[in-house]
Structure 1
Amino acid sequence: MKTLFRLSFLLLMAGVLLAACSNNDQKPKETEASGAEYEPATIRIAYNLPAGHHISEGVEEFVKKIEEKSDGQIDMQVFANGQLLTDKDMNQSLLTGGVEMGMNSSTIWASTVPAMGIFDVPYAFETYEEVGDAINGELGGILRSEMEDVGVKVLMFADYGFGQFANNKRPLESPEDFKGLKIRSVGALPSEFIQAYGASPVFMGGGEVYMGLQRKTVDGATSGTTAMVQRNYDEVTDYLTVNNYVYFEFILGVNKDFWDGLPEKTQKLIEDTASETEEWIRHQTKLEDERTLQELKDRGMEVYEVPEEDIPFWKEASMPVWESFRNEAGAVGEELLDMVDDK
């Protein structure tokens, strides 16, 4: 009986030791899981595009994924549709750390980083695929480097779409048809382009365009068809010219000093999510350009689509703008122009 008791006791102790060993084996995994948690961080992100725009939808999904994947440890505080900063104030705030992340147009960035004006060079890009290849290649690398030199890391190039012209005077079927018109512009190079065609550029905020057209302060405006639909250009203009003269690009940037202070794991999460979002936005851009062009036709606008064989003529008339960009952006600008002209 004693022998049986002793044997039972030994078996019990063996089970206890095995269980202890098993628990010890699991401890490194638990420690590893604990160490994988994201450090708490608060990131303010500001942008000015309206809700419902495909870029806005992309940004909101970007924010949602980061918070979900970090299990809420990274708190993304979103200030959309100009709630915190205007387009004019955005860049300075981002450069000084007034806000950690911000999205603004490449046109506005070009006043600080001249190389960003490449997207405003007329007819530099012909297709959505060309833009994607350029941004993912050497051209994108140069632009990212130029931005970092002033203190901003580029997280995402967000495609807005091709630029077109709407006006309430007459069909614009050649560069000569622009002569004498007052056209709302959005930046330095777009203004030079308008002047190259014989029209007068008028600087005006996006929210002022409808009233400006209605009151005939301007005769027309340049924008993407997505904005034209959202802002009901069809109510105050009759004619739309589709010449894909420029590719509007938005930049999601983060203050470089703030970025350098984030843990590597957090940086990787943000970069990976930004890359996924950038691809989604580019895909949506083409779909949205096609959808909104058709909607403007359905709403009754008279649309003239410049034939592909006529584009070289339109491009030739815009060459003074190429020269202006070359002078403004220097050696870097020359390099970028060679890239887009040799494609």
Structure 2
Amino acid sequence: MKKKLSLGLAMVICMGALSGCGGSEDGTPKPISISVVSGSMSENTPAGVGVKTLVEKLNEYGGGTIEATAYYDTALGDAKSMVQSLQNGTVDIGVAGSSYFSSIVPEVQVLELPYMFDSYEQARSIVDGEVGQELLGMFEVKNMVGLSFWEIGFRQLSNKDREIVNVEDVKGLKMRTLTAPVQVSLWESYGALPTSIDSSELYTSLQQGVIDGQENPLSEIVSKKLYEVQPHVSMTAHVYTPMVLGMSKLTYDKFDDAQKEALNKAVLDATKASRDTVNQMEADGLVTLQEAGVSIVMEPNIDEFKEIGKESYTIFTEKYGNELIDKINAAKGE
């Protein structure tokens, strides 16, 4: 009798404190609250647009069982700390450039090898295909779920001194580049003097002449107004920079099948929205540069840049072999 009374009392207490028992006042389960973070990217960037769309669609497709909130810029820390937080579960979903995830899955650097891709169509087909799925699958053993590849875009070269048509034109330029060993080796092979400068200090460094040039997608060159202090842009498209959309496995494992289905649908919509933003910003960016009087070299000597650039692949293959590169080339029909 006492046992039955205790059980009944426990049920009453539970019903009276639904927040502690995972329920709401009307008896329905409480929605899972999740954070969706754009790393250090603002709301008007491709990453920001993707995050906004992902949050909207998660809340819609989840049917009240998911309560997602977007965080932009560095509201929950920078991109590096965000990746760490995804692993320990203090951030639920986040996106950042693949280089930030390379300490977890170094093989992802294969996508950023010089002249790996010739177009957005080609790059997207690869990251959405078997190679991309293989790379995303590598995150699971690192306590993370790889959801999709978004992108920052193809990187272009800008500088303050001269038009860049041939590799010879790059020699002697003090260049702010990505810090990855392959990227440093790339610019050294072109005769540039690569250096590392935080993106927050890039405009000032260019303005003050600390460096002569930099390389970034058009969306960054325009949004950060780098063209104001960089009157020459060459469309070298030397590196494709993807972003990884990752989720904490601790959070993912809390989702039931219906919530996982909602997640998959939302990711597809958000990926499209982010890529559409890249397309639009690329087109608008060229117009902005032209209107600002920037000298644009639309057709530099790509064959020369490509031939020298591919020599840096050995830095990757010596550690991780040729298998992934061979799979990408096979998928491209090469």
Q: TM-score, normalised by structure 1?
A: 0.83
Q: Mark the CA change 1:311 to 1:257 in structure 2 (over 3 Å): closer, same or farther.
A: same
Q: Matches of 2:323 and 2:139 in 1, distance apart?
A: 13
For residues 303-339 of structure 1, the C-alpha deviation after alignment (integer angstroms, 9 at most, x for no partner) is 11225xx422211111232111212333554444544
Counting only pairs closer than 5 Å after superposition, residues 53-132 of structure 1 correspond to structure 2 as 53-132=45-124
Q: Does the aligned pair in 2 maintain the 1:105–1:248 contact within 8 Å?
A: yes
Q: Which residue of 2 aligns with 1:196?
A: 189
Q: Matches of 1:237 and 1:111 in 2, distance apart?
A: 32
Q: Which residue of 2 aligns with 1:312?
A: 303
CA displacement at 1:197 relative to structure 2: 0.8
Q: Does the aligned pair in 2 maintain the 1:124–1:341 contact within 8 Å?
A: no
Q: Mark the CA change 1:201 to 1:336 in structure 2 (over 3 Å): closer, same or farther.
A: farther
Q: Which residue of 2 aligns with 1:214?
A: 207
Q: What percent of counterpart residues are identical? A: 25
Give the superposed CA RMSD: 2.0
Q: Which residue of 2 aligns with 1:158?
A: 150
Q: Does the aligned pair in 2 maintain the 1:157–1:250 contact within 8 Å?
A: yes
Q: Matches of 1:238 and 1:331 in 2, distance apart?
A: 39
Deviates more, 1:325-334 or 1:106-115: 325-334
Deviates more, 1:66-75 or 1:180-189: 66-75
Q: Matches of 1:192 and 1:122 in 2, distance apart?
A: 11
**Contiguous gaps of at least 5 residues in structure 1:** 1-36
For residues 262-294 of structure 1, the C-alpha deviation after alignment (integer angstroms, 9 at most, x for no partner) is 111111101111012212322332232122122
Counterpart of 2:238 in 1: which secondary structure?
A: coil
Counterpart of 1:108 in 2: which secondary structure?
A: helix
Counterpart of 1:201 in 2: which secondary structure?
A: strand
Q: Matches of 1:327 and 1:337 in 2, distance apart?
A: 17
For residues 103-136 of structure 1, the C-alpha deviation after alignment (integer angstroms, 9 at most, x for no partner) is 1101222233122112211111111111121122
Q: Matches of 1:340 and 1:116 in 2, distance apart?
A: 17
Q: Matches of 2:74 and 2:327 in 1, distance apart?
A: 32
Q: Which residue of 1 aligns with 2:235?
A: 242
Structure with greater Cα Rg: 1
Q: Matches of 1:161 and 1:132 in 2, distance apart?
A: 11
Alignment of 1:283 with 2:276, yes or no, is yes
**Contiguous gaps of at least 5 residues in structure 2:** 1-27
For residues 4-30 of structure 1, the C-alpha deviation after alignment (integer angstroms, 9 at most, x for no partner) is xxxxxxxxxxxxxxxxxxxxxxxxxxx
Q: Which residue of 2 aligns with 1:16?
A: none
Q: What letter is aligned with 1:146?
A: M
Q: Mark the CA change 1:302 to 1:73 in structure 2 (over 3 Å): closer, same or farther.
A: same
Q: Does the aligned pair in 1 maintain the 2:147–2:267 contact within 8 Å?
A: yes
Could you list the structure 1 runs, at least 4 aligned residues long, displaced by more than 6 angstroms after superposition: none
Q: Does the aligned pair in 2 maintain the 1:118–1:336 contact within 8 Å?
A: no
Q: What is the aligned counterpart of 1:262 among 249, 252, 255?
A: 255
Q: Which residue of 2 aligns with 1:271?
A: 264
Q: Which residue of 2 aligns with 1:321?
A: 312
Q: What letter is aligned with 1:213?
A: L
Q: Which residue of 2 aligns with 1:176?
A: 168
Q: Does the aligned pair in 2 maintain the 1:43–1:100 contact within 8 Å?
A: yes
Q: Matches of 1:134 and 1:333 in 2, distance apart?
A: 11
Q: Which residue of 1 aligns with 2:19?
A: none
CA displacement at 1:203 relative to structure 2: 1.4
Q: Does the aligned pair in 1 maintain the 2:235–2:296 contact within 8 Å?
A: yes
Q: Mark the CA change 1:224 to 1:334 in structure 2 (over 3 Å): closer, same or farther.
A: closer
Q: Does the aligned pair in 2 maintain the 1:159–1:282 contact within 8 Å?
A: yes
